Amino acid sequence: MTRRLEGRVALISGTGGGQGRAAALRFVADGAIVVGCDVNAKADAETARLVAEAGGQMTTMVCDLGDPDGARSWIERAVTDHGRIDILYNNASAAKFGSIAELSVEDWRFTIRNELDLVFLTTKFAWLHLAKQGGSIINVASTAGWQGSRGNGTIAHNATKGGVVAMTRQMALEGAPLGIRANSISPGFVITPGTRAFVDNPAVRAQLTASIPLGRPGEPEDIVGMAAFLATDEAAFITGADIIIDGGTTAC
């Protein structure tokens, strides 16, 4: 693997597991210095240990990025420690699920805060630092932002991930004169600690597999490889794009 991100400072949120952990390992393999964060201190410390074992450099902190003070602190610490920000990878999110009739107002607001607000807040506080280097923003959206889910009660998740796609386009337009690129990634069903219970159920796994043309759920590594590419100079003419990574599901 080429070290095409050598020396660049990459802020990756939600590094305690799943796609965030895979991203930390992939980005350090490409030569980046990773600044992670997660609300789960123990899980994030394990990611830092794995990064160190792989010969990479990672610092991390426990913070709530849905809180403006938490988001600002994460950004300011990265700048204090490393003097710059080259990449902002908005991976962290948390959602509540329920039908339109059943989802509580509190659960709606929880999802908006933890899937939409935190993307805005981290980007806001990192913006001028990214402009100094002509940095790259990668936002994790979802195929839920492009299509509904029959019977799955994903109204809040659909709204936030569609919002992430729309925000990314606006970031791209405002960022272009500053040399900032912004793109989003829309994964389909990916195996993570949060989805493992579904995959481990043979009946559910068979149903999922049947709905994916490539015949398998995604793995975190399927997603983070695209994120790493979008952060490199090889993607210098790509901004405002949303890349769907779903094994062909949305093509059906």
Q: What is the DSSP string of the chain?
A: ---TTTT-EEEEE-TTSHHHHHHHHHHHHTTPEEEEEES-HHHHHHHHHHHHHTT-EEEEEE--TTSHHHHHHHHHHHHHHHS---EEEE-------B-TTT--HHHHHHHHIIIIIHHHHHHHHHHHHHHHHT-EEEEE--GGGTS--TTS-BHHHHHHHHHHHHHHHHHHHHHGGGT-EEEEEEE-SB--TTTHHHHHSHHHHHHHHHHSTTSS-B-HHHHHHHHHHHHSGGGTT--S-EEEESTTGGG-
Q: CA 148, CA 15: separation in Å to the nearest integer?
A: 28
pLDDT of residue 151: 65
pLDDT of residue 196: 77
pLDDT of residue 149: 77
pLDDT at 2 over 90: no
pLDDT of residue 168: 98
What is the token pair recorded at 121?
A: 């807040």
| pLDDT bracket for residue 195 (50, 70, 90) | confident
Query: What's the pLDDT tens digit per position in 205-221?
Result: 888 888 899 999 999 99
Closest to 143 measured CA to CA, from 247, 222, 18: 247
Q: What is the CATH number of domain 9-246?
A: 3.40.50.720
Mean pLDDT (the chain) is 94
The b-or-e profile of 192-215 (16+ CB within 10 A means b, else e) is beebeeebeeeeeeeebeeebeee
CB atoms within 10 A of CB 125: 21
In total, the chain counts a number of residues equal to 252
Closest to 204 measured CA to CA, from 193, 214, 213, 217: 217
pLDDT of residue 158: 95
| pLDDT bracket for residue 240 (50, 70, 90) | very high
Closest to 139 measured CA to CA, from 64, 88, 208: 88
- 217 versus 106: the higher-pLDDT residue is 106
**Taking residues 98-110, what's their average pLDDT?**
95
**Taking residues 99-120, what's their average pLDDT?**
96
The percentage of residues in the chain with a pLDDT greater than 90, rounded to a whole number, is 85
pLDDT of residue 1: 58
| pLDDT bracket for residue 122 (50, 70, 90) | very high
Q: What angle do CA 186, 188, 194 make, to 5 degrees?
A: 105
Q: CA 141, CA 221: separation in Å to the nearest integer?
A: 16
pLDDT of residue 209: 84
CB 234, CB 176: distance < 8 Å:
no
Domain boundaries defined on the chain: 9-246
pLDDT at 9 over 80: yes
Q: CA 94, CA 13: separation in Å to the nearest integer?
A: 12
Q: Residues with Cβ < 8 Å from 17, sequence gap 6 or more?
A: 38, 40, 43, 47, 192, 193
Query: What's the pLDDT tens digit per position in 127-151?
Result: 999 999 999 999 999 998 998 877 6
**Taking residues 89-115, what's their average pLDDT?**
95
**Taking residues 112-140, what's their average pLDDT?**
97
pLDDT of residue 183: 98
| pTM (two decimals) | 0.95
